[in-house]
Amino acid sequence: MLLGPLFDRFVSQTPVSVMVRGTLEYALQPQPLDDLFRRTAQHQYTRDLLFSSVVDLVGLVVSGTHASVHAAYQASPQAVAVSLTSVYNKLNGLETVLSAELVRHTTRQLEPLLRQLGGTVPALVNGYRTQILDGNHLAATEHRLAETRGNSAAPLPGLALVVLDPALMMVTDVFPCEDGHTQERALLGDVLTTVRERDLWIADRNFCVHDFLLGIAAKLGCFIIREHKGLSWQPAGKLRSCGRIEGARVREQRVSIVGDNGQKVYLRRVLLKLDKPTRDGETELALLSNLPKEAADARTIGTAYRKRWTIETAFQELTEALCCEVDTLCYPRAALFVFCVALVAYNVLGIVKGALRAAYGAETIDQEVSGYHLAQEIAGMKEGMMVAIPAKEWQVFRSLTVEQLVVVLRELAGNVRLARFRKSRRGPKKPSIKRKYNKEHPHVSTAKLLAERKSKKM
């Protein structure tokens, strides 16, 4: 292996932690990050605190190594040669365009690595780059601003539209917004600027906007978007049966909407009659698409849309496995920056999963390995590993080529004991029992209840 002897014990005992730390070192090299700041920042400038140092500090919080920015700073104040107040001032002023560019920069670094590892997932529709779009409103923060302390309303620090590539299982783009009350649709103009030919955009009905659909089509892209009742369309053909997919019966109809020039634009309307209703009680999903029939039949469209849940799974992993929302950071720019650093960490976990897919097979990793357990392993081992292996030793990852890093990651993946990271399977949920309330007996003794249970068994 290309790593030094100091790594040997950790390579054998906790290879996942070494994979993550090494990949972070490769993706977040200080000089490119500081150059990114100089190119992108519009108002802030560097005096004593480097942008790369802020990323590293927030990374300790996101990974769960420390509970807050304050705790991370207190643990290693020598690593950041400024006061804690200066750190917070820097965080509070980081522009959202910089946070978004950080995600794009690291994705550009990591995508070639993942592809050369052979850790990608088959495309949902052959010949198209799929982009799953969804929004995430950051949770309310503590009432720390003077303007919010006298108001019981929850202060919202912002929202972001996130784009996930399901073939890479990585976040490829993000569109942050400081105003937590902004409607997600207001950001679709920014999304349209990134659409490329032969893109396939998949989104829920909140993004079923007339101009957005036409904008994608105008750029020679395609979409599968759930129909919103507010979108007006006209039938242009009969509804016909197209067989079944897992969990639903499929039908299709040709419809039209009116374009900007008054001409009709023809779409495919795919109806999924669900075997089981959704959690909202809906029994039918209507999807609109402009995919050519030779590229995908109605069943392929239905199956592709139902993969949209992968981005919701990503949000769940960000919430449960990574600390993507710090409720003490009440300034929107700081909160959104932490969220974007969490997206970077999620992508690094994606590289680890990609290496494991290459070693053990995609189905085994995607069905059996828990992102939560992976993140817990990293958080638990990182601090001890960083003490045992000095920071300068990790710099070896910065000089590795893509080919060399692929060799290292494959060897590390071969040392991983998958049993430590298997998902916990639970049985079907039991129906909830209606509780009774007796105001004369508002409490019960647990010991007495257990004694009664024991006596019934005897």
What is the per-residue pLDDT for 17?
83
- What's the confidence (pLDDT) of residue 321? 61
- Alpha-carbon Rg for the chain, nearest whole angstrom, is 25
pTM over 0.75: yes
**Among candidates 22, 190, 221, 204, which has minimal Cα distance to 104?**
190
The pLDDT tens digits of the residues spanning 325-371 come to 677 788 899 999 999 998 998 898 889 889 999 888 888 887 888 77
- Across the strands, what pairs with 244? 249
Residue 185 reports pLDDT greater than 90: yes
At residue 239, the pLDDT reads 93
Tell me the C-alpha distance between 185 and 212, whole Å.
9
The position carrying tokens 């509780």 is: 435
Q: What is the pLDDT of residue 259?
A: 86
- Looking at residue 383, its pLDDT comes to 57
pLDDT digits (tens, 9 = 90+) for 141-184: 887 787 777 777 888 888 999 999 999 989 999 999 999 889 99
Rounded to whole angstroms, the Cα distance separating 160 from 138 reads: 8
Q: What CA–CA distances, in Å, run from 31 to 36, 52, 205, 398?
A: 9, 8, 42, 11
Provide, rounded to the nearest whole percent, the portion of the chain with pLDDT above 70.
92
Residue 293 burial (CB < 10 Å; 0-12/13-18/19+)?
exposed
pLDDT at 340: 92
pLDDT (tens digit, 9 = 90+) per residue, 49-96? Answer: 888 888 988 888 887 777 788 888 888 766 777 888 888 889 999 999
From 112-116, 144-148, 326-330, 380-384, the region with the lowest mean pLDDT: 380-384
Higher-pLDDT residue of 436, 324: 436
Q: Where in the chain are the domains?
A: 5-147+156-388
